[in-house]
Chains A and B, each alone.
Chain A
Amino acid sequence: MLALFLVIAGLGLIGWLTARMRAVGFRRGSTARFSSLPSHFGGYVALWTMLPAALFLTIWASTAPALVTDRVLRDPAAAQLPPPGFDRAAILSEARSLAAGNSFGAFNPLSQKLAPAYAAAQSRFDWIGSAAALLLAFAGGAFAYTRVRPDFRARSKIEHVVMAGLLGASLIAILTTMGIVASLLFESWRFFSIVPIGDFLLGTHWSPQVIDSADPGKTLGAVPLFWGTFFIGAVIAMLVAIPFGLMSAVYLTQYAAPSARRWMKPILEVLAGVPTVVYGYFAALTVAPAVRDFAVSIGITYASSESALAAGLVMGVMIIPFVSSMADDSLAAVPAAMRDGSLAMGATASETIRRVLLPAALPGVVGGVLLAVSRAIGETMIVVMAASGVATLTLNPFASATTVTKQIVDLLTGEAEFDSPKTLAAFALGLTLFIITLLLNIVALTVVKRYREAYE
């Protein structure tokens, strides 16, 4: 296979050189202006040589195994195969690896018999594929070579190929997202065909360990999870992140000397790059015990060592740089004329910030906070390590609380069948979380965009 690619690349190189020589030839002695340089003609022929062949090989690689199997099944020995099912697939796969020389013994004597047929079919289709690819390379190259004429605009053809390549690259992310959503939707649909959607969204009792098969919805009510997520990610974490993030942005944009800003801003940005699992350690090993001890010392009896407060505090610290940089951007986008106008009225720096700059930057700040919330509620590692697995509907920050992401991890780890309501619930939770964060992001980005337009 590698050899084939090298041959095709070699053909491409030859195509490039010959086309270039030809183009140099017709430019020589001519005073006319050409739209394309010799290298454009070279590139054009090389692309025509390599691209169709490469495309064909990609498609071939995904269809050839089916053709090979089909061929093997027509072998007389295949008549003894068991009917389609697990055994049949196992024998075929064993035969395939014997044929490829990846294994030397076989459990099933039948696969030993089928191996030669496999090897024959494999080499036959390999040969067909290679020949076809080479033929395509030649045909493409020759076709392109005949078009190498002085008035041919190879330059703009290459531009089209570049554009198609870039478009393909950007489509990959979009298509992947759509694939993820589709798989989430599919699994969630299976879940909701077992558990009524109302029980899931409105039920207040969550204990997936004990599922009554007659009424699975009874213990799969997700309200405590959504409450826990909201309480940790949108309340406690934001109580930390908003004031500290805002104040640090105000300091950095309005007060800090350029030299202070030069070292403080990178440090904040490094904080944003710390892997969340590290925050998780910090939350579980340092903050959670400290919070529990503190709660006990002020006389709270039901203090948990997996409290909502510990997870929320550390999550808030994690979000600070995010809020700070969004607020920094919004404050920087407020025209300097506003600041000057207020200072010229005799306002001090802090009055200017409180009365003019922050109100003017508010929409941008709000948008940034919404984005931060959507990040916080989707955050997994900190809560997996520091939050509790017990779903409780509580307002007490020292009590244990759990989140959607924590539960998804719990549901999918350990042994579980992939079609039980317990496992499928993870997908339904994932889908709900996805929809919530998507809506939050849309609202936040709209707010931020409106705000940007206001000052342009």
Chain B
Amino acid sequence: MTISNQAKIAAHHVNVWYGTKKAIDDVSLDFGSDQVTSLIGPSGCGKSTFLRTLNRMNDTIPSARVEGDITLDGEDIYAAHMDVVQLRARVGMVFQKPNPFPKSIFENVAYGPRIHGLAANKPQLAEIVEKSLRRAGLWDEVKDRLTESGTALSGGQQQRLCIARAIAVDPEVILMDEPCSALDPIATAKIEELIHELKGRYAIVIVTHNMQQAARVSQRTAFFHLGTLIEYGATSDIFTNPRQERTKDYITGRYG
């Protein structure tokens, strides 16, 4: 199920185990560099687990084991010489619940650039922070209170702060794990708008429970069920003309 030869990330025959339980069963999936891809499926279908294999966040779970190849620009990200620090700078992540650090708004965004040494001096760092906050559509709301704690913002602002934090290290891919599930509809609309603006600049992979959201923000959609990839294709095809019976049942609300 490859989409083109310009795939940013390519996953081939990926299996993931948690201890002895198989969570992902032989999934092969490519992601385009200027597209938004959404992963949909019922709870426990493995879509979040699959997402976390793309920046090796499953490494932090002692019992998790990943098999198969995943390449970023043709480079095997599970190869022994691959530096996880570098990988995660290139593949950023936004989580289900906004998780700003208990630091100031400025320090939250400056966190990545500081770790990766992206700014030579203070003015440069301030510039990166401003650019990232602008790109995340948060600058106008927080420019007068950059020294306040990031945790004092509203839920939607916190999530945009986390997006700003992720893009501050200039990643190539952004993974979003149900980024709106803890937000109200207005905050959700703002995040979706932001995803539209970020599209083209970054490859975006978003896990979502909300099928309208998948239809609104993504160009390609992958449907997961019980750890396997059932169907992958253009979002419009998946939602209007699914090839698989199970996909059709899911998007028409038969189960999930």
Contact = CB atoms under 8 A, between A and B. Distances in A.
A409 B89 CA distance: 62
A340 interface: yes
Contacts of A454: 102
Q: Which of A344, A347, A454 has the most CB of B within 10 A?
A: A344
Nearest to A357: B101
A355 B116 CA distance: 14
Given A338-B101, A340-B95, A360-B102, A346 B111 contact: no
B99 A345 contact: no
A359 B112 contact: no
Contact of A345 (B92, B102, B103): B92
B162 interface: yes
A427 to B, nearest CB: 45
A340 B56 CA distance: 11
Interface string A324-363: 0000000000010111111111111001000110011000
A337 B57 CA distance: 12
B99 A338 contact: yes
B183 interface: no
Nearest to B90: A346
Q: Is the interface of A mostly helix, strand, loop or mixed?
A: helix
B87 A346 contact: yes
B87 A342 contact: no
Interface string B109-149: 00110011000000000000000000000000000000000
B111 A343 contact: no
A343 B55 CA distance: 10
B93 interface: yes
Given A258-B62, A340-B57, A355-B111, A346 B89 contact: yes
B169 interface: yes
A351 B99 contact: no
A257 interface: yes
A345 B115 contact: yes
B102 A359 contact: yes
Contact of B57 (A335, A344, A356): A344
A345 B88 contact: yes
Contacts of B87: 346
A337 B96 CA distance: 9
B60 A343 contact: yes
B60 A340 contact: yes
Interface string B165-205: 11001000000000000000000000000000000000000
A341 B95 contact: yes
Interface in B19-73: 55, 57, 60, 62
B49 to A, nearest CB: 14
B89 A342 contact: no
B84 interface: yes
B86 interface: yes
Nearest to B88: A346
Contacts of A343: 57, 60, 88
Contacts of A335: 99
B95 A346 contact: no
A338 B97 CA distance: 10
Contacts of B88: 343-346
A341 B101 contact: yes
Contact of B112 (A257, A337, A345, A360): A345
B62 A344 contact: no
A342 B95 CA distance: 11
Contacts of A344: 55, 57, 88, 92-93, 95, 166
Interface size, B (range):
20 to 34
B99 A341 contact: yes
A168 B168 CA distance: 61
Contacts of B57: 340, 343-344
Nearest to A361: B102
A342 B101 contact: yes
A345 B60 contact: no
Nearest to B94: A344
A5 B194 CA distance: 81
B93 A346 contact: no
Of A341, A343, A359, most buried by chain B (CB within 10 Å of CB) is: A341
Given A345-B111, A345-B166, A346-B87, A359 B103 contact: yes
Nearest to B99: A337
A345 B62 contact: no
Contact of B62 (A257, A338, A342, A347): A257
Contacts of B99: 335, 337-338, 340-341
A351 B116 CA distance: 11
A341 to B, nearest CB: 4
A342 B99 CA distance: 9
Contact of A337 (B89, B95, B169): B95
B121 to A, nearest CB: 20
Nearest to B162: A341
B116 A342 contact: no
A340 B97 CA distance: 11
B79 interface: no
Nearest to B93: A344
B115 A347 contact: yes
Contacts of A359: 101-103
B80 interface: no
B1 interface: no
B85 A348 contact: yes
A335 B62 CA distance: 18
B170 to A, nearest CB: 12
B29 to A, nearest CB: 20
Contacts of A339: 60
A258 B61 CA distance: 12
Nearest to B116: A346
Nearest to A349: B60
14 contacts: A258-B62, A340-B57, A341-B99, A341-B165, A343-B57, A343-B60, A344-B55, A345-B92, A345-B112, A345-B165, A346-B84, A346-B85, A346-B115, A347-B115
Give me the 7 closest cross-chain CB pairs, A-B, nearest first. A346-B88, A337-B99, A344-B93, A346-B89, A341-B99, A345-B112, A346-B85
Interface of B: 55, 57, 60, 62, 84-89, 92-93, 95, 97, 99-103, 111-112, 115-116, 162, 165-166, 169
Given A340-B60, A346-B87, 14 more contacts: A257-B62, A337-B95, A337-B97, A342-B111, A343-B88, A344-B92, A345-B112, A345-B165, A345-B166, A345-B169, A346-B84, A355-B115, A359-B103, A360-B101
